[in-house]
């Protein structure tokens, strides 16, 4: 008999939550404990995406086979714990053969499209295995290829979903299925108009869960990871970091955008559009609670959190000629637009533009922004300076522009650090600064002590 689930939950499990059989089994228990969970979105098992990215870069035969053997070991350590492994092992073997073929091609003719096709296999394998784990626990589970629904552009490595197409495809393809079974699908991957596989960038599985929640009007999206919620800063840097039990969409969105790894930066946009609460908890310890992200919270504090984002580049463009500033700015931004450079943060003087560029969002994690063609075009109009190895530290709060002593609180304990650039004013709710990455942790520790301890 068909059951109707008008208030269903989308549950997303990260790489550590599906890292091995015990992790998958524990996550399956979370799914089965809540009858409202009808759609499950999975990341690749921990470590798998990194291996696939390395293979996509074109490795020589010996290194290539070592990586593939490691991938096979991860999958078969899970398969060996299943009661009836025969059918699923054939499917996993086929995917491993595809990986080997694509990895060999990557050595001869690498491309971003091939990279996305190869890297997508991590989620395909984990979702097949997880569906089998659920079936062995006598759950009615159905595997589903997310690429039928997640339609994107062809910006490989960091593709943008077509929201209206996602909604159009989700209703006929997914709605009937979630009324009949628990549907297991992949995060992170999609398909462009030409039928090629795309990826949404690092951490994109969170985004997939939120997109599907929006398209199907879910009651809640649960993000299960290895941390029991969202903290005032990364607890791996500051042991005294405090869990935030309730946080607004805007606060959490700022935290994600400026480097908090607990959520993909775009995750909250779909949830915000449909006002869908997002819960973040630990699959390893559900009793520890977590953080509920919603539209508003009571009595939002002046300071909410500190985020850190590494792999930042400072690009400084100096005018070569005496000309009005507006002409120089227009000329530079026209070149940047022509080369599809996504400028993150910017400050200007009469004869110089300083830009902060972020390279953390792409699937490879590498900065492909400063191409030879771009630098050649810029150099014909200005003097170019490039500084790498930087980190962006951001203080996130509420109405910081009205708070007194914000700059004092932020910088009073940072005398020993060489701050390269400060951004404040474009947003009322954050203050950012660049400094060398190798000293960024110390700055975060000092800043957290000042603001939260």
Task: Supply angle C-alpha 205, 15, 248, rounded to 5.
Answer: 50
> How many angstroms separate the CA atoms of 132 and 184, rounded?
10
Residue 49 counted as an annotated binding residue: yes
> How many angstroms separate the CA atoms of 430 and 378, rounded?
30
Residue 225 counted as an annotated binding residue: yes
Q: Is the pLDDT of residue 259 over 80?
A: yes
- Let me know: does 88 contact 95? Beta carbons within 8 Å: no
Structural domains of the chain, with CATH: 9-225 (3.40.1160.10), 304-452 (3.30.2130.10)
Residue 417 counted as an annotated binding residue: no
What b/e string do you get for 20-31 counting C-beta neighbours within 10 Å, with b at 16 or more?
ebebbbbbbebb
How many other CB atoms are there within 10 angstroms of residue 12's CB atom? 28
Residue 123 counted as an annotated binding residue: yes
- Determine the pLDDT at residue 434: 96
- Determine the pLDDT at residue 2: 43
Q: Is the pLDDT of residue 59 over 90?
A: yes
Q: Specify whether the backbone of 47 is left (phi greater than 0), alpha (psi in -120 to 50) or beta.
A: left
Phi, psi of 429 (to 5 degrees): -120, 10
Residue 310 counted as an annotated binding residue: no
- Determine the pLDDT at residue 365: 54
- Let me know: does 186 contact 197? Beta carbons within 8 Å: no
- Let me know: does 269 contact 214? Beta carbons within 8 Å: no
Residue 226 counted as an annotated binding residue: yes
Structure token pair of residue 115: 């990279």
Q: Is the pLDDT of residue 360 over 80?
A: no
Q: Is the pLDDT of residue 364 over 70?
A: no
pTM of the predicted structure, to 2 decimals: 0.88
3-state helix, strand, coil in the chain (%, to 5): 40, 25, 35
- Let me know: does 356 contact 421? Beta carbons within 8 Å: yes
Residues, the chain:
453
């Amino acid at each position: 008999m068909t059951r109707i689930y008008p208030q269903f939950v989308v549950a997303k499990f990260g790489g550590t939550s599906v890292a091995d059989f015990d992790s998958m089994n524990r996550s399956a228990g979370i799914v089965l404990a809540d009858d409202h969970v009808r759609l499950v979105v999975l990341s690749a098992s921990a470590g798998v995406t990194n291996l696939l990215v390395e293979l996509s870069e074109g490795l020589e035969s010996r290194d290539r086979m070592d990586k593939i053997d490691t991938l096979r070991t991860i999958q078969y350590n899970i398969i060996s714990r299943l009661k009836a492994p025969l059918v699923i092992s054939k499917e996993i073997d086929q995917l491993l053969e595809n990986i080997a073929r694509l990895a060999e091609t990557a050595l001869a003719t690498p491309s971003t499209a091939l990279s996305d096709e190869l890297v997508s296999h991590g989620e395909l394998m984990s979702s097949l295995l997880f569906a089998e784990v659920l079936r062995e626990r006598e759950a009615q589970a159905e595997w589903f290829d997310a690429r039928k629904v997640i339609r994107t552009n062809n910006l490989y490595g960091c593709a943008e979903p077509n929201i209206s197409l996602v909604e159009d495809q989700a209703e006929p393809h997914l709605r009937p299925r979630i009324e009949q079974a628990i549907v297991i699908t992949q995060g992170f991957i999609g398909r462009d108009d030409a039928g090629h596989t795309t990826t949404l960038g690092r951490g994109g599985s969170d985004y997939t869960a939120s997109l599907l929640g929006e398209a199907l009007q879910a009651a809640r999206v649960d993000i299960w990871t290895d941390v029991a919620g969202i903290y005032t800063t990364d607890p791996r840097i500051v042991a005294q970091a405090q869990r935030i039990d309730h946080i607004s969409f805007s606060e959490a969105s700022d935290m994600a955008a400026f480097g908090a790894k607990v959520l993909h930066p775009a995750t909250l946009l779909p949830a915000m559009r449909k006002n869908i609460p997002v819960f973040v908890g630990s699959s390893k310890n559900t009793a520890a609670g977590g953080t509920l992200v919603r539209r508003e919270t009571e009595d939002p504090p002046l300071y909410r959190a500190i985020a850190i984002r590494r792999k930042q580049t400072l690009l400084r463009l100096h005018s070569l000629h005496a000309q009005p500033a507006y002409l120089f700015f227009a000329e530079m931004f026209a070149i940047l637009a022509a080369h599809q450079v996504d400028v993150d943060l910017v400050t200007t003087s009469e004869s110089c533009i300083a830009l902060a560029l972020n390279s953390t969002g792409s699937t490879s994690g590498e900065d492909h922004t400063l191409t030879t063609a771009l630098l050649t075009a810029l150099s014909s109009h200005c003097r170019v300076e490039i500084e790498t190895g930087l980190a962006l530290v951001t203080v996130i709060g509420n109405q910081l522009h009205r708070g007194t002593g914000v700059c004092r609180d932020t910088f009073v304990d940072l005398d020993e650090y060489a701050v390269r650039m400060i951004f404040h004013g474009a947003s009322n709710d954050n203050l950012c600064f660049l400094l060398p990455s190798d000293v960024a942790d110390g700055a975060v520790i000092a800043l957290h002590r000042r603001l939260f301890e």
